[in-house]
Amino acid sequence: MPEVSAQRRPALDPIALARRLLAGAGVEDARLDAEVLMAEAAGVARADVLAGLIRLSPETLARFDAMIARRMRREPVAYIVGHKEFYSLDFEVSPAVLIPRPETETIVATALKSIAERAEARVLDIGTGSGAIAISIAANARHAQVLATDISADALAIAKRNAVRHQVQDRVTQRLADCFAMLDDGAPLARFDLIVSNPPYVDDAEIARLAPEVRSFEPHVALSAGRDGLDFYRRIAAGARSHLVREGGLMVEVGAGQARAVSEIFAAHALRVVSVIDDLAGHQRVVHARMTPV
């Protein structure tokens, strides 16, 4: 049962101590993280923590202390609590999958606009991870059938549970694959109205400079993309035409400063870039291309 009290209880002292410990460990959002972890430890909403409406039982404090110790080692909050909100949906996450980022919601919003006028839409999500993109599309577009692929069987297991959690398992299918190459049963892919992907795009040299939360805890297979960070865009561009319907679309998330290079890679494979979309922070985040005749 959630540990909510009818009376205000002094909840600030352990949170204040945790905030100081986290700040000393180099955690940027120490106060927010302490509040979120206290809410998780007590089984209540963060609003109850802010209002002081929690019962600080020994069990709650023991859970909270254990969580703070993990966060001090720079383990991401999402892995500690086991879930992360994305596109107003709550997703199970673990170190087997990349933690969904707010900027990645840009590709979901763009995809939904792209398929809005279609009576039916077949969508392929390459490198699905937790399934955040695939499931968010399916949850908001009931006419969409989504194939979600990943090279990791552990990631696909999480994606499948997330699909069930959000009741879209009848419209989201998971397949083990390396880009366009199926690894499970070898059956060939069909053609799709839209291909989406948030592929690895960190160059090899940059990996060592990432924040400890990313460098030490998130799966490198979902991050590392060769000497220039563009390896997966080349692979996706090379295979996209064989798996898109006529005038089918391709949307990929890109890292800082990569939009022009990715656009050139797509153009070299007869994929016409129709737009580059900024995320809410004003950074170029999604490159949207379409098939062109050759």
Q: Is residue 5 part of a domain?
A: no
- What DSSP assignment string belongs to the chain? -----SS----HHHHHHHHHHHHHTT-TTHHHHHHHHHHHHHTS-HHHHHHT-----HHHHHHHHHHHHHHHTT--HHHHHTEEEETTEEEE--TTSPPP-GGGHHHHHHHHHHHTT-SSEEEEEES-TTSHHHHHHHHH-TTEEEEEEES-HHHHHHHHHHHHHTT-TTTEEEEEEETTEE-SS-PPP--EEEEEE----B-HHHHTTS-HHHHTTS-GGGTB--SSS-HHHHHHHHHHGGGEEEEEEEEEE--TT-HHHHHHHHHHTTEEEEEEEE-TTS-EEEEEEEE---
Residue-number span of the structural domain to which 23 is assigned = 12-73
175 shares its domain with 287: yes
Give the pLDDT of residue 252: 98
Same domain? For 36 and 172 the reply is no
> Quick one: 256 and 146 in the same domain?
yes
Q: What CATH number is attached to the domain comprising 244?
A: 3.40.50.150
Q: How many domains are there within the chain?
A: 2
145 and 201 fall within a common domain = yes
Residue 294: predicted pLDDT: 61
Of 53, 73, 93, which residue sits at a domain end? Answer: 73
Q: Which pLDDT score is estimated for 6?
A: 37
Residues 280 and 152 in one domain: yes
**Do 108 and 227 share a domain, yes or no?**
yes
Quick one: 29 and 96 in the same domain?
A: no
The confidence score (pLDDT) of residue 59 equals: 94
Pairing of strands 89-92, 121-126: unpaired
Residue where one domain finishes, among candidates 44, 73, 102:
73
* Residue 4 located in a structural domain: no
Tell which of 39, 55, 73 closes a domain.
Answer: 73
Q: How high is the pLDDT of residue 275?
A: 96
Residue 2 belongs to a domain = no
pLDDT for position 291: 86
* pLDDT digits (tens), the chain, 294 positions: 455 443 444 445 899 999 999 999 999 999 999 999 999 999 999 998 998 888 889 999 999 999 999 999 999 999 999 999 999 999 999 999 999 999 999 999 999 999 998 989 999 999 999 999 999 999 999 999 999 999 999 999 999 999 999 999 999 999 999 999 888 777 777 899 999 999 999 998 899 999 999 999 999 999 999 999 999 999 999 999 999 999 899 999 999 999 999 999 999 999 999 999 999 999 999 999 998 776
User: Quick one: 192 and 238 in the same domain?
Assistant: yes
Does residue 88 share a domain with residue 21?
no
Would residue 78 count as lying in a domain?
A: no
Judgement on whether residues 87 and 202 belong to the same structural domain of the protein? yes
Q: 141 and 87 share a domain? A: yes
